[in-house]
Homo-oligomer: A and B are copies of this chain.
Amino acid sequence: MSIFEELESEVRSYSRGWPVVFDRAQGSWLYREDGKPYLDFFAGAGALNYGHNNPALKQALIDYLQRDGVTHALDMFTAAKRDFLEIFKEKILGPRELDYKIVFPGPGGANAVEAALKLARKVTGKEAVINFTNAFHGMTLGALSVTGNSMKRGGAGVPLVHATPMPYDQYFDGAYPDFLYFEKLLEDSGSGLNEPAAVIVEGVQGEGGINAARLEWLRGLDDLCKRHGILLILDDVQMGCGRTGPFFSFEDAGIKPDMICLSKSIGGYGIPMALTLIKPELDVWEPGEHNGTFRGISPAFVTAAEALRVYWSDDELEKSTKAKGERVAEAFAGLIKRYPEANLVAKGRGLARGMEFADGKLAGAVCKEAFDRGLLMETSGPDGEVMKLLPPLTLTDDELGTGLSIIDESVAAVL
């Protein structure tokens, strides 16, 4: 029995679909111990938008380590944090005319979500939150309570309360007006809906099945929140940092959420880091009212700052992401045409792309075929029915072509 099977809890999951031991990684590739390469269309579930061990970030990181830059500093002031703040202001907030204060809520996306929910409740004095069908926001108790997946919810072991799910965009395939039920419940003082402190939403739902909200739906939601005095929390943990093209998934909608959750690729190099951006008027916390040990990991600040410098000084990455996304969309359109009876549905935006199969078995079988051909992809959606593509944004056109060919073959092997 391997040490993994002996010691690691049965809760492990990715290693079941990909039962190999990885050792090295570079750019879009992961390498098995024996050197066999795997093209990575999974990218750390969105944590590796700039690819594995990105050379520019790597150099900055090693330089920092070499010179004994402070590594761990909680919420002390450090030169590394200052540099990150300045570059984040210069490259991200400033150009987009966004006025936010930054909470370092802890190391991961769930911390960013927990902090946002806590603050929304503190500010409003209300407990209730609206989430959306098939949302995913994390595994800690607060974040889990706004997550949709019933298996994961069941793991909580306590009733998950204080959240009411509303239909995400296109939940009824556009057959009914947006926010039909949500707005009626808000307007009706006898509806029984607890007045919500906040709405939490993803610009594109990743775990939920690569459901990309239309920009007008996001605008509608923003407008609804404003009209009813509800705070809008945009969870961009997986879909931010350029995944859909622009830095934020909601940018093209022209909205400015009250709070934004960032994590995964914000650190750039796969080292844990998270941010909760909050409108300045919401910054009502007492010092230390929310805290945590891993809120000042300088190696992440260093690679985060470098990533912003390299990739967000101009719009090249955004354009290339959109272009590559279009190429995936075209490839998917081809598949749909080729298998007219398979009821395939192409989903997504930018380089967050999904192909919905008739059921989870088919999607899983395609991913299995792809793995056998050296391509890593996972499934998502409530029944795992969506083949999910999250390649590094930095993959080359050739790599994208290689991946799409393997997908073609894999689909052919299954359908």
Contacts and interface: CB of A to CB of B under 8 A. Distances in A.
A384 to B, nearest CB: 10
B172 A193 contact: no
Given A85-B7, A106-B139, A192-B153, A70 B20 contact: no
B82 A3 contact: yes
- Assign chain A's interface to a size class: 35 or more
A200 to B, nearest CB: 11
A382 B285 CA distance: 19
A205 to B, nearest CB: 9
Nearest to A282: B9
Given A76-B22, A270-B297, A181 B167 contact: yes
Counting chain B CB atoms within 10 Å of each CB, the highest count among A31, A106, A139 belongs to A139
B71 A156 contact: no
A283 B381 contact: no
Nearest to A136: B190
Contact of A285 (B10, B45, B111): B10
Contacts of A19: 77
Interface string A70-86: 11111111111110011
Interface string A24-56: 111000110100000000001111100011000
Most buried by B among A30, A52, A68, A143: A68
Given A44-B73, A72-B270, A118-B141, 15 more contacts: A4-B77, A21-B77, A46-B293, A53-B68, A53-B70, A114-B140, A131-B192, A134-B191, A139-B291, A140-B140, A150-B189, A150-B191, A151-B289, A176-B180, A272-B272
Contacts of A138: 292
A65 B157 CA distance: 39
A407 interface: no
